[in-house]
Structure 1
Amino acid sequence: MPPEPIRHLRDLTRYRSTLGAELSREAQRLEKELEDVGIKFSTVAIDILGVSGRAMLEALINGERDVHVLAQMAKARMRPKIPSLVEALTGSFGERHAFLCRLHLDRIDQLKAAIGQPSTRIEEEIRPFARQLELLQTIPGVGRAVAEVLIAETGADMSRFRTAGHLASWAGVCPGHHESAGKQKSGSRRHGNRWLGAALGTAAMAASRTRDRTYLGARYMRLMPRLGRKKALVALEHSMLTAVWHMLTQAHRRSGRGGRGAL
């Protein structure tokens, strides 16, 4: 049983993650609604809810049907994609679809506002762990939200895990051990903390995009051709947790030598 401050922090980060998952599902519903009428906007824009995407969606909902006018609403890096946008925005969008897309956008806005409330409270609850939060964000792919989940789920107390391997095993980011009659069977990853696993998955995806600019990016590029994309990402998650264990262990030791710290 973790101490009370960690339990409070964990409740907040888990609820925020739940809201974030619902936000993703609502965005997928919106995308499916557009695809049903032949609008393949997501094939051109990485984020259909970005500045350009939102402007085009609002115009569509408000009655604009000229695809050339819609495409001209593209901003910044989307401008060179205008010809592709014209093709992607061509579809049979009608009043019924406008009504449903309005509902989706309103729900997305509500969820974004709701996510901001626990985030504000998390900032207050996590202040005693400011040093650990700063350290964790030096890991490629680990942003503030992921670092907050790492602290909430592990308690920032690595004394509970004898080695980095024990932490990885608890988190479920190491191969399972299935041996029968002296033969090694499937090495599928073990079940672990799903909240931590989801945060690590997000961080691993971000780190994989750094390619040769970071150790984790280079490791992903080296492992992916041999292991495949999914297993290479799990390997990155394992490497990240190893770094987390060492960072928080060293932070605890330094705070112990220098006086009372957050741990």
Structure 2
Amino acid sequence: MGYVGDIGESVVTDIPFERVSTTMCPDQRGIPIEMMEDAMTKRKQINLELTHPNAAGIDIGSASHFVAVPADRDDEPVREFKSFTVNLNGLADWLEACEIDTVAMESTGVYWIPLYELLESRGLTVYLVNARHVKNVSGRKSDELDCQWLQQLMTFGLLSGAFRPKDEICALRAISRQRDMLIRYQARHVQHMQKALAQMNVQLANVISDIVGETGQKIVRAIIDGERDGHILANLKSNRIRASKDEIEQSLVGNWREEHLFALKQAMLLYDAYSERLNECDRQLETMLAALQVHKVEIRQKKRRSNVKNSPKFDLRAHLIGMCGVDLTQIGGIEVTTAMKVLSEVGADMSRFKSAKQFASWLGLCPGTKISGGKMLSGASKRTANRAAQALRMAAVSLKSSQSALGAYYRRLCGRLDKAKAITATAHKLARLIYAMLTKGTEYVDKGQDYYEERYRQRVLHHLTVRAQKLGFNLTPAPKTV
């Protein structure tokens, strides 16, 4: 049994711990601790209010969905519905019969999409929530309990819905993602061609940077057609190739084995097949973008030429300007394909984001706030698979050798931060510029690297002057030397 006593006077009382009352231990102001604890409890107490009394929760699955409604709406408040369309219609009918107006569901794979679209078409407000934000208490994991947990959280307004653009932007996003997927698949067959050539010791990739470029395709297709003379193959080179004809001819001396030639032919056929599918995607994108033209803006010629690989075959820049009213490619590092990725993921309407800070937070490009005990534990940005954020990070990397103000900004950050942080910070700046252009309709004007460096110099001088004055000194410029 433990006892309490005054440590300073080494006096031990005979009162055991079990009998000590908090009223017997007042603080220095003479206020009993029991009264202080009651006051703190009342001050910290959170009153949960019913914000969505007609809310339902749905646990999404591949084969079936579990739905929970308030207990007073049905004798069986938790039901299971299969994922067939007829069952989804029955689910929506049951929710309408229970007078449900708000639904919360987790974003599980792609299984939520049909039900989400159906419930929205019925006029229900659907909240698509992140599964990480609604994790239940340990030991309470089941489909029935998950849907009830979602329903309770939604009832008290503790859930926030994920951003989902308008239907026409969702359709544009789907085709854009399909096109990106085809490009990745096509790139794999380029690697197969490189492998087949390397196995025959045909070192074409060492003298030509792109074997599926103009010169590379001419040579590879001639090899597939049966040409083996290196001199004839070397004459197919374009004037833009830096390597000489002799170097190309030497690289084309190899061991022409039939099995590797067969693999080379197969890879080229598959490459061509994906090229045809990409052309179909380009035509579909052009049609969809033409339907989204809401601004009539004069298209100005770009000051810098940009030949982006794998860009669509139509005038994508003009279509994007007509869609959002501004030219995002005027921002340093933002090529037409980058602008397409951002606009296809978000759209031109920024009304869902109240500020540039919220837009950057949704992209996952702002610092985190992990605080405990009054101390900042971590400021790392959250991990996200946001495609728009990935595109902006790639745009930030491309500013490494840019002579623009953004290029100078990125290089200065790289000088005092590690590269990953510098990339994220620069991508954050690009996101804020895009938000400002889309919300205000203003054009971006790049004032150049020298302007940025001079502004940075003036800021440094101002801070040094203020610091010197606080220390009782004055800054005087050094005399100019002739």
TM-score (normalised: structure 1): 0.78
Describe the SS at the equivalent of 2:348: coil
Instruction: Compare the two structures and name the one with the higher strand fraction.
Output: 2
Q: Hey, what does 1:261 align to over in structure 2?
A: none
| Counterpart contact for 1:173–1:192, Cα < 8 Å | no
Describe the SS at the equivalent of 1:118: helix
Q: CA deviation at 1:245?
A: 0.8
| Counterpart contact for 1:150–1:156, Cα < 8 Å | no
For residue 213 of structure 1, the aligned residue among 381, 403, 412 is: 403
Alignment partners' CA distance in 2, 1:224 and 1:68: 47
Distance 1:22 1:200, change over 3 A: farther
Q: Hey, what does 2:348 align to over in structure 1?
A: 156
For residue 187 of structure 2, the aligned residue among 18, 24, 37 is: 24
Deviations 1:109-136, CA, capped at 9 Å, x for gaps: 1112211222222223223351526522
Q: CA deviation at 1:230?
A: 5.1
Q: Hey, what does 2:201 align to over in structure 1?
A: 38
Alignment partners' CA distance in 1, 2:279 and 2:242: 31
- Unaligned ranges ≥5, structure 1: 253-263
Matched residue count: 249
- Unaligned ranges ≥5, structure 2: 1-163, 295-321, 443-482
Task: Please list, as runs of the form range in 1=range in 2, the aligned pairs for 1:1-263 lying within 5 A after superposition.
Answer: 1-126=164-289, 127-128=292-293, 130-132=322-324, 134-176=326-368, 182=375, 184-185=377-378, 187=380, 189-205=381-397, 207-208=398-399, 211-224=401-414, 227=417, 231-251=421-441
Describe the SS at the equivalent of 1:76: coil
Describe the SS at the equivalent of 2:241: helix
Same amino acid, percent of matched pairs: 30
Moved more, 35-44 or 219-228: 219-228
Q: Which amino acid in 1 is paired with 2:337?
A: A
Q: Which amino acid in 2 is paired with 1:128?
A: Q
Moved more, 39-48 or 101-110: 39-48
| Counterpart contact for 1:158–1:249, Cα < 8 Å | yes
Alignment partners' CA distance in 2, 1:251 and 1:116: 32
Alignment partners' CA distance in 2, 1:26 and 1:100: 10
Q: Which amino acid in 2 is paired with 1:137?
A: T
Q: CA deviation at 1:250?
A: 0.7
Alignment partners' CA distance in 1, 2:414 and 2:246: 34
| Counterpart contact for 2:207–2:243, Cα < 8 Å | no
* Highest RCO, 1 vs 2 (Cα 8 Å, sep ≥ 6): 1
Distance 1:62 1:52, change over 3 A: same
Deviations 1:82-101, CA, capped at 9 Å, x for gaps: 34434444433422222111
Instruction: Compare the two structures and name the one with the higher helix fraction.
Output: 1
Moved more, 38-47 or 79-88: 79-88
Q: Which amino acid in 2 is paired with 1:200?
A: L
Alignment partners' CA distance in 2, 1:216 and 1:25: 34
Alignment partners' CA distance in 1, 2:205 and 2:393: 22
